[in-house]
Amino acid sequence: MNAETPGQSSTAEDLGRPHPAGAPRAGHEQHGPAAVIVLAAGAGTRMKSRTPKILHPLGGRSMVAHALDAARGLAPGRLAAVVRHERDLVAAHIAEHDPAAVIVDQDEVPGTGRAVEVALEALDAEAEGGQLSGTVVVTYGDVPLLTTALLAELVAEHEAAGNAVTVLTAVLEDATGYGRILREDDGTVAGIREHKDATAAERAIREVNSGIYAFEAAVLREALRQVTTENAQGEKYLTDVLALARAAGGRVSALATTDRWQVEGANDRVQLQALAAEHNRRILDAWMRAGVTVVDPATTWVDATVQLAEDVTLKPNTQLHGATVVERDAVIGPDTTLTDCVVREGATVKRTDGTGSEIGAGATVGPFTYLRAGTRLGPEGKIGAFYETKNAQIGRGAKLSHLGYVGDAEVGEGANIGCGNITANYDGVHKHRTVIGAQVRTGSNTVFVAPVTVGDGAYTAAGAIVRKDVPAGALALSVAPQRNAEGWTEAHRPGSPSAAAAAGARTSAAGAADGAPEPPSSAASPSKKVEGK
């Protein structure tokens, strides 16, 4: 909660991809206010970070991106974001996420009232007739769980009642430290009382101010002209508008939510983690209700930007990030992290770290596999244990079973790449490409020195170093005569267990050749001390 005086719940589906956060809930008519102002100027010093507070990520987006999405979902006439701390960094991030947002700079006058005032002045300058009219919603850049649906309820309540101001409030079990909402008998808001100034009876009130408002533009404009900085903090407070609007005869009302998470802000990393955990819980709840099996929600994290189909299974310790898409009947995990990946229908991915990769229908990946950007595994293909791939197109049914590296390469349909194979794609200056044809079979520990092409149906022998193209159907092998240096161990490692074993074996062989009885087997034991040493 983000006001100077800090304080209809939304469903889990509001935060899950099956029912995107930008859409109002069923049964609620979409309202388009004249403007939404997102306050994003604070320093967030309690975060103790070089990164501005509102740029800290949660569920795959920055906090301010979540806030902008909720605001944009209202379809406002204009959307403005007020910036100051780390102005250029924050403004660039906002512009990238929502190019249509109006960036407004807060001046030297501190306070949320002044932030809204400069935003309203900027919006007035662009409005027809020189003044904005209608409903203006004010929200914050660090309330990432706030949904469009709840904002739409706030706007609907405000406009249906003809209010001058409508404040969004939260009902808390423990309201200690928050500004209390004081109501008249008719339910209208009489004022907001700071905790430190509240009486015992007022402190018993559990309804608090969230700092999120809907204003009538004309009322807001006139009241802000009257708000001063004559207070202990020397700031221009937005909360002062409520009393001024009421004094001018306007109706001030409130919409209460029991879902405190929607209006909860993050001022430090403890609060940020709590919000992230709650956001993830809601995301997983929505996906499970949409037909996804999540075996262990406590260890599964899914960004708001991820897309899942029915009958997907997520096993423990799975993290899905970015633009990852998982199609029907795919099984992900355990112990798997995928970022910006596409997993096609019926594929299985376990104990894998993948980025920017596509896994074909019915394919299998893992365990202990590293998929780097540009990996494309075809249907029914396999990338097995302790394998790394990068910028590789792997055909239908091809198998890279274990202990290898394929980078900057094409592997044809049905190829079977043996254990310990690698593509040597880098010459120290440039990357080169390897092309392996369909139905190729490669022996263990083959090295492909790129650029090189292996034709369809070719074979390589174990230990081959392939430096030139291999014709279709050929066998590539590296032939070098094997040379044995007789007596090397005894000559160069005297007194060692190996030398003792070699001497024993030599003696046994000589005795057998002469027809003499063999010495006891213990004479060749590596642990037995050699006579005279």
Q: What Cα–Cα distance (Å) separates residue 416 from each residue in 130, 382, 390?
A: 71, 10, 18
Burial label, 107 (beta-carbon count in 10 A; 0-12, 13-18, 19+)? exposed
Which pLDDT score, from 0 to 100, does residue 108 have? 92
- Confidence grade of residue 517 (pLDDT, cut at 50, 70, 90): low
Whichever domain contains 326, its CATH number is: 2.160.10.10
CB 528 within 8 A of CB 503: no
**Residues shown for the chain:** 533
User: What was the pLDDT predicted at 380?
Assistant: 98
Average pLDDT over residues 262-291: 96
Spatial CA neighbour of 251 closest among 121, 348, 164: 164
Instruction: Map tokens 């609007």 to a residue.
Output: 245
* Residue after which a domain boundary falls, among 228, 263, 298: 263
The answer to whether residues 350 and 401 belong to one domain is: yes
305 and 329 fall within a common domain: yes
Going by the DSSP 8-state scheme, the letter that residue 322 receives in this structure is T
The DSSP string of 201-237 is HHHT--EEEEEEEEEEHHHHHHHHHH----STT----
Residues 6 or more apart whose Cβ sits within 8 Å of residue 313: 292, 293, 295, 330, 331, 332, 333
The pLDDT of 489-507, averaged and rounded, is 93
Give binding residues for acetyl-CoA as ranges. 425-426, 444, 462
Q: Does residue 22 fall inside a structural domain? A: no
Helices (H) and strands (E) in the chain, counts: 10, 37
Domain end residue (candidates: 476, 494, 527): 476
252/286 same-domain check: no
pTM given for the model: 0.85
pLDDT of 43-60, one tens digit each? Answer: 889 999 999 999 999 999
Range scoring the smallest mean pLDDT among 199-203, 280-284, 368-372: 199-203
Q: Does one domain contain both 416 and 339? A: yes
In the chain, % helix, strand, coil (3-state, to 5) comes to 25, 25, 45
Rounded Cα distance, 388 and 368, in Å: 9
| Res. 278: pLDDT tops 90 | yes
pLDDT, mean of residues 117-132: 92
CA–CA distance, 142 with 275 (Å, rounded to integer)? 10
Last residue in a domain, options 427, 446, 476:
476
Contact present, 7 and 209 (Cβ < 8 Å) = yes
The pLDDT confidence band at residue 3, using thresholds 50, 70 and 90, is very low
Give dist(CA 305, CA 393) in Å, integer: 26
- Look at residue 493 and tell me if it is in a domain: no
Predicted confidence at residue 312, as pLDDT, reads 98
Beta bridge partners, 404, equal 387
Strands in 428-518 per DSSP E: 434-436, 441-442, 447-449, 452-454, 459-460, 465-466, 475-476
Please check whether residue 163 is in contact with residue 214, taking contact to mean a CB–CB distance below 8 angstroms. yes
**pLDDT (mean) for 370-381:** 98
What is the per-residue pLDDT for 280? 98
Q: Which residues are annotated as a binding site for Mg(2+)?
A: 142, 267
Q: What is the pLDDT of residue 523?
A: 43
Please tell me whether residues 246 and 274 are part of one structural domain.
no
Q: Is residue 59 part of a domain?
A: yes
505 falls within a domain:
no
- Confidence at residue 403, expressed as pLDDT on a 0 to 100 scale: 96
Which pLDDT does position 479 carry in this prediction?
86
CATH of the domain at 202: 3.90.550.10
Binding-site annotation, residues: 39-42, 53, 106, 111-112, 140-142, 179, 194, 209, 267, 372, 390, 405, 416, 425-426, 444, 462
Domain shared by 273 and 156, yes or no: no
Instruction: Say whether both 106 and 251 belong to one domain.
Output: yes
Question: Taking CA 146 as the corner, what is the angle to CA 323 and CA 58, rounded to the nearest 5 degrees?
Answer: 40
* Residue 415 and residue 406 in contact, taking contact as beta carbons nearer than 8 Å: no
**What is the average pLDDT value for the chain, to the nearest integer?**
90
pLDDT at residue 196, as a whole number: 81
| Number of domains forming the structure of the chain | 2
Binding-site annotation: residue ranges for UDP-N-acetyl-alpha-D-glucosamine: 39-42, 53, 106, 111-112, 140-142, 179, 194, 209, 267, 372, 390, 405, 416
- Asked whether residue 392 is domain-assigned, the answer is yes
User: Tokens 């993948």, residue?
Assistant: 354
pLDDT band with cut points at 50, 70 and 90 for residue 19:
very low
At 520 the pLDDT is: 53
The band of 7, judged by pLDDT with boundaries at 50, 70 and 90, is very low
Which pLDDT band, with edges at 50, 70 and 90, does 28 fall under? very low
Do residues 252 and 338 share a domain?
no
Residues 411 and 338 in one domain: yes
**Band (18; pLDDT cuts 50, 70, 90):** very low
Residue 17 resides in a domain: no
pLDDT of residue 194: 78
Q: Which of 93, 279, 321, 402 is catalytic?
A: 402
Q: Place 31 in a pLDDT band, splitting at 50, 70 and 90.
A: low
Neighbours of 427 (CB within 10 A): 11
Q: Give mean pLDDT, residues 270-297.
A: 97
Distance (Å, rounded) from C-alpha 396 to C-alpha 378? 4
For residue 527, the tally of other CB atoms under 10 A from its CB is 8
- Do 315 and 377 fall within a single domain? yes
Residues 55 and 193 reside in one and the same domain = yes
Annotated catalytic residue 402: yes
Mean pLDDT is lowest, of 31-35, 252-256, 271-275, 476-480, for 31-35
Which tens digit of pLDDT belongs to each residue from 460-497? 999 999 999 999 999 999 988 889 999 999 999 999 99
Domain check: are 178 and 251 in the same one?
Answer: yes
Q: Lowest-confidence range among 32-36, 62-66, 126-130, 201-205? A: 126-130
In this prediction, residue 518 carries a pLDDT of: 53
Least trusted range by pLDDT, from 159-168, 441-450, 486-495, 517-526:
517-526
Decide if 387 is inside a domain. yes
Q: Calculate mean pLDDT across residues 245-260.
A: 93
Name the band, by pLDDT with cuts 50, 70 and 90, for residue 527.
very low
Phi, psi of 288, deg, nearest 5? -65, -40
User: How far from the centroid of its chain's Cα atoms is residue 377's Cα?
Assistant: 23
Range of the domain at 369: 269-476
Domain assignment of residue 27, yes or no? no
